[in-house]
Structure 1
Amino acid sequence: MALALVLAAAATPILSCPGGTIETKCTAAEVAAKIAITRARVTNIAQRCLYDFGGKCSVEASGRINSSDRGATLLWQKMLLAPRDGPQARMLVLLSQDKAGKTALAGFAESSGSIGAPDLVVDNDKRRLVHVGGTLAGSGGGNADALFVSDTATPQWRRVDLSDWAEQGGKLLPTGYWLRGPAQFAFDEMFASAPVARDGDGNCCPRGGNAFYDLDIQGDRLVLTRLRFQPMQPLGRDVEVTAGTLED
């Protein structure tokens, strides 16, 4: 149960649906259809929201990523979205642009909490990987990371599913231990680490040690290939002292 709560963002991305209200349900395809990539929007990417949200939208940051292929460029925009009847969220939109200036949607990611700038972590003759770090709102500290991949042979960008590896990793831990999160990803080395809690730990303070994962991308899904676990054992009983009760 704890694993599902902590890492829920990987399996169920938060969607700010067109219409500007939390009462509306939609698909990722419907959101993508409302991301405008006209010449005017792209030219004013630092000032004008790409997403026709329907609620309040403001641009928080934007930028450009140059890859080793000088004919290909990535543009990105981070937006703060505020629906009329619910909590705000953040969205990052990633665009690919060729040498002729033709722009296409590479993908988007959302979070109820924070979301970072995209990072081109792998750029070689086989593939490119862009990692977007993020965390969920609230005290749970869950991940809202996104990973996008483009093969050199077929340069279309695709989003990688980040859900299966976490479920596998939780099942491999010894009885009485569970992943607490958030996980820290290093996709340039295909590696991740996550705090581990023991039965009885509070939500704030995992004391079970750390889990380390080797990862791979198989069929556009992130999978676990190896787990290394370093358990932290308690050295003694907890000590509690009330102020003013100690003698000089």
Structure 2
Amino acid sequence: MKIAVALALGLLTAAAAPQDREQTAEAAYSAARAASPTPLRLDRDRQEWRLYRQSEGADVAETDQRWTERWAAAGARDSRVRALAVAGPTLSRDCVDIGISGCTTPTGGYLNIRGQVLMWQLQEGFTPEDGKTAGYVLLTGTDRLRAEAWGHEGVWYEAPKILWIEDQAYVGVAGVMAGTGVFNADALFRFTPDAPRPLTEIDNFSWRDTDLPGLLPTGLEIWKGVSFNYDTLTARTALWRPADGNCCPSGGEATLVFEIRDDRLVLTQLLRDGAE
């Protein structure tokens, strides 16, 4: 089925005029965004696609086709996951099908958020695109559960945690991507139990571009993922100097302090260890 969809999309995209290819990609993006539990990540992907199309020497036809296929597959998967009715007793033994092959679930449980129960499941397996992978699913309901948020961008995830800011609850899932950069696969959501979609994605990535440059000490950089602590809404990181090797940061370590404003994670302080 996936192969047939990809071939059909490929033929249509390749045969289309440039404007039609662009519109086809935009339509696939919009459909995927409507179904996704993490639409802000799709917005970031769209920005990447747009920037590449404008770059010198870009193969516009190829990138339009690639992103169209990617968004079409994501939209179909997420629409399917949203339609699932998961039997509560099966959660401890059967993976909720979010697209991981050879899936097993090593752990799961529930969060009691002032009387509102949010079930969760962690997963391990692989995907043809990324190889070994891990995933998480957050669900609401009682006997028949409904998936509200999910993802499998990382190779490892921690059990979700509740964060309270005044009377607003947030749910954080710490995760790590594959590779030496151990970049973040974390997900953070605002929990509104009575909303049609109770979990709203928090932008937990733009702080690197918007907030971090103005807080880094001169001559120091952050090259890899950071280790979030959702109990305190902080993170720990090493600091690199330009001449350092990727393996060996020499600038010490720091604590990053965050706030959540308008559904965005905002970096407010960088506290370098030992600095006065």
- The TM-score, its normalising length taken from structure 2, stands at 0.64
State the partner residue of 1:144: 185
Alignment partner of 1:159 is 2:205: no
Paired amino acid for 1:219: D
- What's the CA shift for 1:104? 3.4
Alignment partner of 1:90 is 2:137: no
Alignment partner of 1:190 is 2:190: no
State the partner residue of 1:19: none
**Structure 1 residues 26 and 89: CA distance shift in structure 2, 3 A:** farther
Alignment partner of 1:120 is 2:162: yes
Segments of 5+ residues of structure 1 without an aligned counterpart are 1-9, 15-23, 233-248
- Structure 1 Cα separation of the partners of residues 71 and 91 of structure 2: 25
Structure 2 counterpart SS, 1:226:
strand
**Structure 1 residues 128 and 31: CA distance shift in structure 2, 3 A:** farther
Paired amino acid for 1:121: L
Paired amino acid for 1:49: C
1:26 aligned to 64, 71, 75, which one? 71
**Structure 1 residues 25 and 81: CA distance shift in structure 2, 3 A:** farther
- Bigger helix share: 2
Alignment partner of 1:130 is 2:178: no
- Structure 2 Cα separation of the partners of residues 86 and 164 of structure 1: 24
**Structure 1 residues 211 and 39: CA distance shift in structure 2, 3 A:** closer
- Structure 2 Cα separation of the partners of residues 79 and 170 of structure 1: 35
State the partner residue of 2:216: 173
Structure 1 counterpart SS, 2:70:
coil
- Structure 2 Cα separation of the partners of residues 230 and 75 of structure 1: 38
- What's the CA shift for 1:230? 4.2
Paired amino acid for 2:89: T
**1:84-107 deviation line (CA, Å, top 9, x unaligned):** 465121110101236xx5643331
Segments of 5+ residues of structure 2 without an aligned counterpart are 1-39, 46-68
Contact kept, 8 Å, 1:60 with 1:78, in 2: the verdict is yes
Alignment partner of 1:221 is 2:264: yes
- What's the CA shift for 1:231? 7.3
**Structure 1 residues 92 and 114: CA distance shift in structure 2, 3 A:** same
**Structure 1 residues 58 and 34: CA distance shift in structure 2, 3 A:** farther
- What's the CA shift for 1:76? 1.1
Q: Which has the higher contact order (CA 8 A, sep 6+)?
A: 1
- Structure 2 Cα separation of the partners of residues 141 and 192 of structure 1: 14
**1:148-199 deviation line (CA, Å, top 9, x unaligned):** 2114785822121111222221443134211133312233333223211011
**Structure 1 residues 125 and 230: CA distance shift in structure 2, 3 A:** closer
- Structure 1 Cα separation of the partners of residues 140 and 78 of structure 2: 14
- Bigger strand share: 1
Paired amino acid for 1:120: I
